[in-house]
Structure 1
Amino acid sequence: MGYKLIAIIFLVPLSIGSESEVPLSTSQLEQKFGQGYSVHPLTVDCVVSQSGERYDVVLHAKPNFNETLIIVRGLGSCIKLELQEFARIIFVDDYSTFSSKVEDHEPLAIRPNYTSFENPWKSTLNHPQTNCADPNSNSYCVAALESKNIYPPIGGSLRNEPVEKVIPFEFRVRAVFDRPSHYFTAGDLAAVGMINNISSAHPPFPLLTEDDSNVSFCNANNLPSNCAPGGAVSHPIHLHGVGFQVIDMGTRQQYANGQTGFRNSTKLPVVKDTVIVPSGGFVRLRFKSCNPGYWFFHCHFEYHMHVGMLAIIKVGNKTDMIPPPPNFPKCGDYLPPVY
């Protein structure tokens, strides 16, 4: 099986999402890894992370500081609740000779409120409302990160490679009054998650180990009875089985006008497996379909996934995939025999 270059375009209608911001009160963060893939370091004041995202950072303490706070704040729809948690970081020259004091373990006498460390000049990485096309901004979209040398087929730049398949995806959540059993409900309303206006349900058996020829696959031209046609927030979208390159991102208006921030970038694209698709925005990804299998593709807000914002991407044919072991049990037959 040869490699096929896949391009994916994500679009999300305009609304407000929920994410977490990690600022430091007196220090800075140097971001070095994103979801296990190396990037050239970028120093910022805080990092925004949604479900499924991971970042490795180095803390740069300012000189002559003995203590600081690291704060995790809820953003988006959590702002009105002023949700936050924080911890004290104590700097020591030699940990082997450090002796903690009782007060080091005591709660702060004065707890900071939600806006105590607001700074309009702070630099932020990965905030979904950052204008990716603003060259004067001191904040950064993840597409501004540059990969270190990562071996192909995941690494290397795919920006200008010929693409064999382009797959557009649009994500949205809507509220309905009918209440299917597998949807999250709140009072008389049910939340329905959709990709391209299709709310997916899990297949009745594991596709990798059983015959999938009779499974009803949904698309715009094929809507069997169990495919429900289609609100919006920013979504952390996760793809199993392969790392993808973030080629471009921004607002839908920038996408429509061809005025995106990374259209002509020459950087090695950052490689991730989860990316925030901004509310009212888009992300363009590319990856090589080099890992045969059925790969789960979903929003990492768990309830969005469980109410239908998911898909399965099939790479290759059954003959390209690792076969199940001999006598591997079929679905519904996992219990051992009773003697």
Structure 2
Amino acid sequence: FRASDPGTHFWHSHSSLQRSDGFFGGLVIRLPPELDPHRHLYDYDLSEHSILLIDWGERTSAETFAFDFHGGSASSPTTVLVNGLGTSEKGPDMPFPVFKVKAGKRYRFRFAYNGISNCPLHVSVDGHSLMMIATDGRNFEPVEVDAFFIFSGERYDFVLKTKQGVKDNFWIRFKGHGRCTGYLIQAAILSYEGTSDRKPEGKVTYSNTVETDSQRVSASKLPDERFNPPVQNLSTEKPRTVRPNNHQLNYISSYLPPSPPLSQLEDIPQVFRFMLQFPSLGAFCNNKTVAEDCSQVLCQCVHLLNFDLGDIVEFVLVSFTNTVVHPMHMHGHSFRVVAMRSFYHDLTVESVKSMDRKGKIHRRTSKAPYKDTLAVHAQAVTIIRFRANNPGFWFFHCHIEFHAELGMAMILQEGQGREIPRPPKGFPTCGSWTPHHVKTVLVKEQQGAADAETSTGSYGTILGVLIGVIGSAVIIIVVLFLVFRGRCGDKQSVLFSPIKGGNSIRYNSLS
């Protein structure tokens, strides 16, 4: 492939749970110095200062998945690995990773987070500030910070300026949040030239707080008083919503197609339609084509949105309730983040549409940052825009491994017919292998409804249909998408012009 997308990236498997079991690695594409707008900000950009993180557990991912969604209890990672190294309270005493620097120099560090669970990381370096200069392979105006958060799938580059005349070691600290709040910690060592690899002073703890004018209070010394407020007939009932806890987009759990649509699109309907819950729809669906109310029943298909080449597309991502943060990742594109707003109360699609029509959701139309992975927060609205100018089929999914495995994903098709590149002659093909007896049943399916039930059941048994797990809450992201018809040759400024209602706008919801 042509290395035409500079920046800090990482590669990984998208087959089953292989990414979470270690099938991933770093990928850095450097610009020539004369083309790098931040080259004057640093002295060194060394390969040994590329840092790849992963939250790691005691079990294999398949075991963890079973515990989370079938065992009735959630399991959490036990540690964070920094370039494959790290310590754990329950594990052996392993060495901390060490990153060497010289005094009085400026170093570019590159961070990538192959996060598996809902465990964003807070990153800081003792005694040093960080000048952030890039994210997800895209440069931005430098900003100096003391620490930053990184979510699964994200990448951040920063410049660290070392101190003059110092020979010492400093902790690089990683603290888990989200599901890992309060317990998950890890560290590495920033080691100045002329020092040994000894541990820096101070312990690596989660709080890292300094006790200043505190007062200790023992609960046993407090007076024992009882208060009986005059409240009668106080109901203890609390309404709850119970539905498949599938982590979905637009209430749809997406399958991966059995064959790659880019190279074998014509194979998918014939092979895959027998697995669908709604066979009459064909292999592909979205919330505009499903006949069922997917908020009440489990809808499963190859979730696909289709755009004409050159369309300007806006996704309004709505996370209804106070649940987990979903880091959403788009293949094939960087997108502009034009709005992010938290409401701190539950939302509905209609309430968001109403606020948008009244101009209450402001969009940033100048210098909107580029990302390809973005944390969609709970009870919030996040709006992204991109131009559908990359013909083909692209995956859009939650980067929390188990959420994507449960179907929180969709395919974005850009272009039609001959606009989509064809594979080279002799390109290998692949698909699901069907035993002879199942082929026989599938042929008989056309003869009657009873045989249709048999064929669907047999085929589903062979290929393994995902089953929804009943939970006490639902994690939902809804996306309203708008399409602005344009040509590939339109000026870039069109992408960031204010939105006006009416012309060529389609609303779709993604849950």
TM superposition score normalised by structure 2 = 0.42
Q: Structure 2: how far apart are the matches of 1:234 and 1:205? A: 31
Tell me, yes or no, if structure 1 residue 23 matches structure 2 residue 124: yes
Q: Is this contact kept in 2: 1:294–1:313, CA < 8 A?
A: yes
Q: Percent identity?
A: 30
Q: Structure 1 pair 87/175, CA: closer, same or farther in 2 (3 Å)?
A: farther
Q: Is this contact kept in 2: 1:31–1:57, CA < 8 A?
A: yes
Amino acid at match of 2:149: V
CA shift digits 1:219-255 (9 cap, x unpaired) = 2243389993497311111101111011110214696
Amino acid at match of 1:216: A
CA shift digits 1:7-57 (9 cap, x unpaired) = xxxxxxxxx953111022221111101111110001111111111100000
Amino acid at match of 2:284: F
Displacement after TM superposition at 1:108 (Å): 5.2
Q: Structure 1: how far apart are the matches of 2:363 and 2:152? A: 30
Q: Among 140, 147, 150, which residue is 1:39 paired with?
A: 140
Q: Paired residue for 2:259?
A: 205
Displacement after TM superposition at 1:325 (Å): 1.9
Q: Paired residue for 1:272?
A: 371
Unaligned runs of 5+ in 2: 1-116, 212-240, 270-281, 301-320, 346-351, 434-511
Q: Structure 1 pair 294/74, CA: closer, same or farther in 2 (3 Å)?
A: same
Q: Structure 1 pair 69/112, CA: closer, same or farther in 2 (3 Å)?
A: same
1:210 counterpart SS class: helix
Structure (1 or 2) with the greater helix fraction: 2
Q: Structure 1: how far apart are the matches of 2:372 and 2:381? A: 16
Q: Structure 2: how far apart are the matches of 1:117 and 1:175? A: 40
After superposition, residues 246-261 of structure 1 pair within 5 angstroms as 246-252=337-343, 256=355, 259=360
CA shift digits 1:241-287 (9 cap, x unpaired) = 11101111021469648555xx2646411111111111221211111
Q: Is this contact kept in 1: 2:338–2:365, CA < 8 A?
A: no
Q: Paired residue for 1:163?
A: none
Q: Among 102, 105, 109, which residue is 2:197 paired with?
A: 105
After superposition, residues 51-70 of structure 1 pair within 5 angstroms as 51-61=152-162, 66-70=168-172
Q: Is this contact kept in 1: 2:258–2:432, CA < 8 A?
A: no
**Which has the higher relative contact order, 1 or 2, with Cα contacts under 8 A spaced 6 or more apart?**
1
Q: Structure 2: how far apart are the matches of 1:328 and 1:265? A: 44
Q: Among 400, 404, 413, which residue is 1:301 paired with?
A: 400
Q: Structure 1 pair 31/108, CA: closer, same or farther in 2 (3 Å)?
A: closer
Unaligned runs of 5+ in 1: 1-15, 92-97, 120-173, 178-190, 335-339
Amino acid at match of 1:246: V
Q: Is this contact kept in 1: 2:131–2:158, CA < 8 A?
A: yes
Q: Structure 1: how far apart are the matches of 2:181 and 2:206? A: 9
CA shift digits 1:39-76 (9 cap, x unpaired) = 00011111111111000001145677644321011001
Displacement after TM superposition at 1:296 (Å): 0.5
Q: Among 284, 296, 302, which residue is 1:217 paired with?
A: 284
Amino acid at match of 2:204: P
Tell me, yes or no, if structure 1 residue 195 matches structure 2 residue 296: no
Q: Paired residue for 2:181?
A: 79
Q: Is this contact kept in 2: 1:175–1:192, CA < 8 A?
A: no
Amino acid at match of 2:207: T
Q: Paired residue for 1:90?
A: 191
- Tell which deviates more after alignment, 62-71 or 308-317: 62-71
Q: Paired residue for 1:181?
A: none
Q: Structure 2: how far apart are the matches of 1:243 and 1:17? A: 23
Amino acid at match of 1:310: A
RMSD: 3.3
Q: Structure 2: how far apart are the matches of 1:205 and 1:333? A: 7
Q: Structure 1: how far apart are the matches of 2:120 and 2:131? A: 20
Amino acid at match of 1:201: Y
Q: Structure 1 pair 118/44, CA: closer, same or farther in 2 (3 Å)?
A: farther
Q: Structure 2: how far apart are the matches of 1:278 and 1:108? A: 36
2:149 counterpart SS class: strand
Q: Among 214, 221, 239, which residue is 2:330 paired with?
A: 239
Structure (1 or 2) with the greater strand fraction: 1
Amino acid at match of 2:289: N
Amino acid at match of 1:316: G
Q: Structure 2: how far apart are the matches of 1:55 and 1:329? A: 36
1:208 counterpart SS class: helix
Q: Structure 1: how far apart are the matches of 2:334 and 2:189? A: 35
Q: Structure 2: how far apart are the matches of 1:74 and 1:236? A: 15
Q: Is this contact kept in 1: 2:171–2:200, CA < 8 A?
A: no
The count of residues paired between Structure 1 and Structure 2 equals 240
Q: Is this contact kept in 2: 1:26–1:62, CA < 8 A?
A: no
Q: Paired residue for 2:43?
A: none
Q: Structure 1: how far apart are the matches of 2:146 and 2:242? A: 37
Q: Structure 1: how far apart are the matches of 2:429 and 2:364? A: 49
Q: Structure 2: how far apart are the matches of 1:79 and 1:211? A: 44
Q: Paired residue for 2:348?
A: none
2:286 counterpart SS class: coil
Displacement after TM superposition at 1:106 (Å): 3.3
2:403 counterpart SS class: helix
Q: Is this contact kept in 1: 2:128–2:160, CA < 8 A?
A: yes
